[in-house]
Every structure is written in structure tokens, then in C-alpha cells.
Amino acid sequence: MPVKILIIDDEELFREDLAMLLREKDYDCQTSANAADGLKLVIDFLPDIILSDIVMPDRSGIDILDDIIRIHPDASVIIMTAFGTLETAIQAFRKGAADYILKPLVFEDLLNKINRIWEQKKLIQEIKYLRREITEDINSLPLGSKSNVMQKIIELIKKVAPKNSIVLITGESGTGKELVAKAIHEFSNKKNEPFVAINCSGFQESLLESELFGHVKGAFTGAIIDKEGFFETAGEGTIFLDEISEMPVSLQSKLLRVLEQKEFYPVGGTKILPMKARVIAATNCNLQSHIKSGKFREDLYYRIAVFEIDLPPLRKRFSDIPFLVDFFIHKFNKEMKCHYKGISKDVLQLFMSYDWPGNIRELRNVIERAMILCDGMTITSAGLPAQMKSLTGETNQTQNLKEAVQAFEGSFLKRVLSDCNWNKEEAARRLNINPSTLYRKMAELRIEGPTSSK
């Protein structure tokens, strides 16, 4: 959907010529010759951006700012005038104007302002969406974790969040590194500021530098306007550098300087901009091995590894799987308007014995796929991918029901005990059973601790 722009100006030739130029740039543009008709169009047209002259026959552009904000608070107003003074500009900004431009207009300057305002509006919309998503995920997923290791990670998140320290999140792909970064942001005093994420592996070197630090017009071929980088867009919020291990070495030195000096230059620019954002980085690689091979700067590693959080793979926190399954079923029930209650016993047994190379992301995808394919209110093996179905078939061929239940119980108890460092009282509490029951089950299933001897 094109950006909607309303022009309010009593000079017909200027107004219609400007509208024509904007339409050529694919903007949806309407015009008004006076303030009264302009306010009616604000109601009917609901423009994203309003270009309003100051001097008009009925009311000034400054006077109608209050009405515009009351009628359509999401609109951004750019004040235009041929009689600009500093006092007028200050008055316009105090009234709520987004920007101010002098006549005669330089069309490219106006396009720059429109583009900047629209990018900010899109970012605000994304922040609102992410905040709803983050709040749901943080309140439900991490804080409900049952494993010792995840409880410790949650404590680390809560401790580091109020500080402004750089955080490095490590872990295999799919373990939830971005979710942890969002949790740190949400638990910090910056939660009302932007959270800006960038995947460092998704851009060529020259483009990544421009995305991070911005560029000025003419900095390189195709740079037809000034562009804010993510460090500037993030403001005093959080910038998340995902897959930082993939950042080119030449750009790593520039990032190190930014982190040390707290300032940066846009590409091709000479004006220093302050770096106010908090930095969180993440990687699924071993940075120490990258340092040895020359792929990553050692000084940058020590700069970003001020506070490191290492996320374990799902195969090392099996006691979280039943909870994660319930979480994703609840999530997709709402999104897909389904009514699933849970998963069958054989599927749960398979989930508890499967290695999950794709970690939480793979589990999420498996659950979503199964909820599309299965019928009824229970997820069965019919909805599983082929490679998982084959594992289920092998189990069913070699075991009767009693053996399958015993195998599941043994596997499940071992994983819970392992998560609790074989503290049987803690494991019994997690399992919501009496310690005596746990001891009896361990004896029946011949489960021994890592230091036990036969």
C-alpha cells in the first residue's frame, strides 16, 4: 500500500505540481487549498504524512496542528513556509510537527524528509508488534522453564538487563538467542526504546557497513539520498548483532572503534554521530577457533564478551520439552484457531529420545506441521516428518506397550535427574512426586547415578 500524503497549500500551481511529482514517485497524494478543507481530508483520507503551508487565507498551518493531532494522531506533519524564522520552527515543533522545510522546496530534500519519517513510522509499528510478541514469549516461554540450566540463564538475564554492558549470547542455531536478546531489552530500562536486530551474515561487506552506520548522498553508486544506519535508528535502545562471527574482518575493526569511542561516521560522511545504543551480539560459532584462524579479531572478542550467556542445546535440557510442547500448542491454537489438547504418549516418548539437531526452532516447526496435518485434539505420529515417523516405527516394532512405557519412563527420569545434577530431592520436586516414589522407580528401572557402581 503506497504512503498517503496530503498537501495543504493555497498556491495552486505549487500545490498541484508538488502533488504530480510525488505521484510520480508512487505516493498516494491528495491536495487542499485551505485549512478547513484540509482538516476534512485528514478525517476522510487519513494521510500518513501531511505537508502544510503556514500562511493560508483562513487559518495558519501552526494553528491547525492541534486539530490535526487530535483528529489523526498517527499522522506526521511537515510545515512548509517561505517566511521561515527560528521562532516559527520552534513553535511548530512544540505544537507537534515532525519536520520543517523552507520554500522554494528542493524536491530531493523533501523526499529525504518523507523517507526518514516513513522509516521511523514503520519502525514504531514494528516495535509495537515486537513488544506484544516479546511480552507473550517472555512471560510464557523462558520464565516457565523447568531445567536448572535455563533457570540459571534467566537469573543471568535479570541481572544483566538493568546494566548497559555489552552481552554476547552463544549457542547452536535454533536455541533462542534472539529471544534472550529481546528478554534482556524488555527487562531493561530501555524497553520503551527501539530494539533493532541485524543479521551480519545477510549482507555484503559494503552494504553491511551502510546498514550499520548509514550513508550520505553520493557515498557510493546508488546512494541517491542520505540514509540512517541501524546504530542511529536504535537511538538509546538496543541493537542486536546476530551472527557477529560472519562480520568481515575489515568491518570488525570499525565496529571495535565504535564500541570504544561511542561514536561513528556514516559512510562517506564527515559528521560524527554519537552511539547511544546498547549492543548485544550473538553467534552459533566458536569465536576462539575463529580467532585462531584469523576470521575474528581477538580484541573485538574481548570487547563484546563482557558478559557471556551460553544457551544449551535442547538435547541437554530434555526436561523442558513437555513444557515447550504445551507452549507451542497453545501458541498455534490461537494463531490457527485449533483446539489441540496435547500429544500422544508415543510422540512424547519420541520427542524425549530425539536429539533435536535444530533445537527449539525444529521443535516449533514439527509442532506447527503436526497441527496442520493431524485431526482431532491430539497430535499423533501421523503428523510427524518422515524421518521421525521411521523412528516411531522402529520403536513400535521392537517393544510392546509395557516395554515402551518403561523405556519412556527410564529415559525421562534420567534426563530430569541429569538436569538436577542427580539431586534426587530436587528431581522429585520437579516431577511432583514423593522422593520415595522416585527411589522406587529408579530401582524398578535400574537407574543408577553417574558415580554408582554395579
Pair (420, 358) in one structural domain: no
**CA-based angle 48:54:55, to the nearest 5?**
140
Same domain, 74 and 31: yes
Which residues partner with 342 through β-bridges?
Answer: 378
For residue 240, give the 3-state DSSP assignment: strand
Q: Scan for cell 516495535, then name that residue.
A: 127
Are residues 248 and 275 both part of a single domain? Answer: yes
On whether the CB atoms of residues 170 and 309 are closer than 8 A, the answer is: yes
pLDDT in tens, the chain (454 residues): 788 999 999 999 999 999 999 999 999 999 999 999 999 999 999 999 999 998 888 888 888 898 998 888 889 999 988 776 667 777 788 888 888 888 888 899 999 999 888 887 777 666 555 555 555 555 444 444 667 788 888 889 989 999 999 999 999 999 989 989 988 998 899 888 999 999 998 888 778 998 899 998 888 887 788 888 899 989 999 999 999 999 999 899 999 999 999 999 999 988 899 999 999 999 999 999 999 999 999 999 999 999 999 999 988 887 788 888 988 998 899 889 999 999 998 888 888 888 898 999 999 999 999 999 998 899 998 899 887 866 654 444 444 556 656 767 777 788 788 778 888 888 888 887 888 888 888 888 888 776 544 3
The reply to whether 160 and 301 lie within a common domain is yes
Question: Has residue 307 been placed in a domain?
Answer: yes
Q: What is the largest CA-CA distance in the chain?
A: 98
Last residue of a domain, one of 289, 312, 335: 312
In terms of C-beta density within 10 A (0-12 exposed, 13-18 middle, 19 or more buried), how is residue 102 classed? middle
29 within a domain of the structure (yes/no): yes
| Angstrom distance (rounded) from CA 211 to CA 199 | 10
The answer to the question of residue 211 being in a domain is: yes
Nearest to 408 by CA among 336, 349, 354: 349
**Short-list 54, 123, 48, 46, CA closest to 83:** 54
**Domain total of the chain:** 4
Which residues are registered as beta bridge partners of 281? Answer: 168, 241
Name the residue among 297, 280, 279 with its Cα closest to residue 288: 297
pLDDT confidence of residue 396: 45
Range of the domain at 360: 314-398
Burial environment of residue 212 by CB neighbours within 10 A (0 to 12, 13 to 18, 19 or more) = buried
Q: Which pLDDT score, from 0 to 100, does residue 5 have?
A: 95
Domain assignment of residue 34, yes or no: yes
* 340: CATH: 1.10.8.60
* Partners of 101 in the β-ladder: 80
349 — alpha (psi -120 to 50), left (phi > 0) or beta? alpha
Grid-cell match 517393544, residue found: 399
For residue 432, being part of any structural domain is answered with yes
Total residues belonging to the chain: 454
If asked whether residues 417 and 296 sit together in one domain, one would say no
CATH code of the domain in which 168 resides: 3.40.50.300
Q: Which of 73, 98, 117 is the last residue of a domain?
A: 117
Which pLDDT does position 451 carry in this prediction?
Answer: 56
- Are 213 and 332 contained in the same domain? no
Q: How far apart are CA 34 and CA 247, in angstroms?
A: 53
CA 54 to mean position of chain CA atoms: 40
Does some domain include residue 140? no
Domain of residue 80, CATH code: 3.40.50.2300
**Which among 78, 61, 178 has a CA at the least distance from the CA of 121?**
78
Q: Are residues 301 and 319 in the same domain?
A: no
What's the CA gap between 82 and 72, in Å, rounded?
Answer: 26
Q: Round to whole Å and give the CA distance between 3 and 46.
A: 11
Position of cell 512405557?
405
Residue 350 near residue 165 (C-beta atoms within 8 A): no
Tell me which of 71, 94, 117 is where a domain ends: 117
Q: Which helix (H) or strand (E) holds 386?
A: helix 386-398
Residue with the three cell numbers 504418549: 345
- In this prediction the pTM is 0.61
Same domain, 306 and 157: yes
Residue 102: strand pairing partners: 81
Distance of CA 308 to the CA centre of its chain: 19
Q: For residues 412 and 371, state if they share a domain.
A: no
**Does 221 share its domain with 99?**
no
**The domain spanning residue 431 has which CATH number?**
1.10.10.60
Q: Look at residue 348 and tell me if it is in a domain.
A: yes
- Please give the pLDDT value at position 136: 52
Query: Are 186 and 299 within one domain?
Result: yes
Question: In this structure, are 225 and 305 located in the same domain?
Answer: yes
Look at residue 125 and tell me if it is in a domain: no
